[in-house]
Amino acid sequence: MIHGTNKPHTIGSRVSQGCIRLYSHDIEILFEEVKIGTPVTIIDQPIKVAEFGNRIFLETHFADSVSFETRKAQAKKLICEKIDNCKYKVRWRKVDDAIAKNLGIPMNISFPTFKQDYPTLLTPML
């Protein structure tokens, strides 16, 4: 149930009956590195939060039956557990947007900084 796919845009999405889809290159590496029959533990983690550089990302994979308010409460709790000073670093409207869209892809929920989000303004004019 771990396999490559000819639909790479579906990787990371809840679009199958429990299969884990990988890019062709990644499945080749996995095939070489892991013996057939190796036990695998699947963890259902509907909320993922990561800080990368100066940016904070939120990814959600909620089941349709989970209410928006429940999603929001769970996301806020996890974000504040993972991110120091979450009250001042996180754009909570972006969090609401990410939860509502529930796309299963990382979304930037941090406040923009001039250098990271507006690099073309730093380009000298000739």
Q: How far apart are CA 114 and CA 46, in angstroms?
A: 31
For residue 25, indicate whether it is catalytic.
no
Rg of the chain, C-alpha, whole Å: 18
Q: Which of 40, 38, 46, 12 is nearest to 26 (CA)?
A: 12
Name residue 34's amino acid.
V
Asked whether the beta carbons of 2 and 11 are under 8 A apart, the reply is: no
For residue 3, indicate whether it is catalytic.
yes
- Active-site residue (options: 19, 25, 61, 86): 19
Active-site positions read 3, 19
